[in-house]
Amino acid sequence: MLGEPFPARAWGAEHLTVAQRAAKALDVGSDQFGGEQCPEVIVELVRSGRVTEERVDESVRRLLREKFTLGLFENPYVDPDRAEETVGAGEFTALGEAARRRSPTVLTNHGLLPLEGRPNLYVRGISEQVAAAYGNVVADPVDADLAVLRLRTPHEERPGLFESFFHSGSPAFPEDELKEILRLLDAVPTPVCVIPERPAVRPEIAAKAAALVADYGASDTALLDVAFGRHGPRGDCRSNCRAPWRRSRRHGWTPPTTPKTPCSPTGTD
């Protein structure tokens, strides 16, 4: 994939043959095999009687139903003129921007949000140019009335271009980064915005943040509009802090239970 070798993985079915794996996938209801070009495996399963033609017909029927619903047989080609008018149309862009502003979830708020006026503002993880429309951006937290910190959940780098798209590994913030974050939270009132791409170990951050917000890839402008009360967040979810990662790694497992008291019991404010 992407010019790099990427062998297929059986994901727990390594002890089965290729044909047995395919049959197992069909048994649980799979309709197609993405990224594969080995129809002879399915043909042989049918010839051997392991998979019936009726089972293949079920998948074909479901796949064709979707294509007919989409009109891919009657109108298989894109109208380039209509596509040019539709993609990026102002109406759709406005709807997307509105959805961005509704999506953030205020997990905790200790009376800081919404922000008011034009404070001296220190930002990290947010464009200073964008932030300048909301406050007087300063280079040092010491000079700030408040800070806005935007974080992505941690991950460990994986080798190869394709695998780098999939984040995994420890969900804990590295010690040096965590110390730097906590120093900022101790120095100045700070709403912390976390992009919850994956669960993060963040109890220390949640305890010290003046507000904790989950956002899902909204633009800096949309996020600051919410922080300054120009738009109200509508996201709603409960959020638990992960157990300390060091404890989980020491025992070789992640506890299946969740804390009795969630870090963010309602996800709204």
Per-residue pLDDT of the chain (269 residues; tens, 9 = 90+): 677 777 767 788 889 999 999 999 999 999 998 877 889 999 999 999 999 999 999 999 999 999 999 999 988 888 899 998 898 899 998 898 888 888 888 989 999 999 999 999 999 999 999 999 999 999 999 999 999 999 988 888 888 787 778 888 888 888 999 999 999 999 999 999 988 888 776 788 999 999 999 988 889 999 999 999 998 877 766 555 444 444 444 434 344 444 444 555 545 44
Q: Which segments within 84-157 are labelled E, that is strand? A: 105-109, 120-124, 136-137, 146-152
pLDDT of residue 30: 94
Q: Which segments within the chain are labelled E, that is strand? A: 105-109, 120-124, 136-137, 146-152, 191-195, 211-214
Query: In a 3-state reduction of DSSP, which class is residue 156?
Result: strand
Strands 191-195 and 120-124: unpaired
What's the rounded Cα separation, in Å, for the pair 105 and 111? 16
What's the rounded Cα separation, in Å, for the pair 153 and 214? 11
What's the rounded Cα separation, in Å, for the pair 238 and 97? 24
CB 220 within 8 A of CB 127: yes
pLDDT of residue 247: 43
Count Cβ atoms below 10 Å from residue 54 Cβ, excluding itself.
7
pLDDT of residue 264: 53
- The phi and psi torsions of 121 (rounded to 5 degrees) equal -125, 125
Which tokens sit at 263?
């870090």
How many residues are there in the chain?
Answer: 269
CB 107 within 8 A of CB 264: yes
Strands 105-109 and 191-195: unpaired
Kind plus residue range of the DSSP H or E element containing 56: helix 53-70
pLDDT of residue 250: 43
pLDDT of residue 19: 95
For residue 226, give the nearest of 110, 92, 99 by alpha carbon. 99
Cα 236 to Cα 26, 89, 261, 265, 267, distances in angstroms: 37, 29, 17, 10, 5
Helix, strand, coil in percent for the chain, rounding step 5: 40, 15, 50
What's the rounded Cα separation, in Å, for the pair 147 and 69? 50
pLDDT of residue 50: 96
Which tokens sit at 194?
């976390």
pLDDT of residue 263: 52
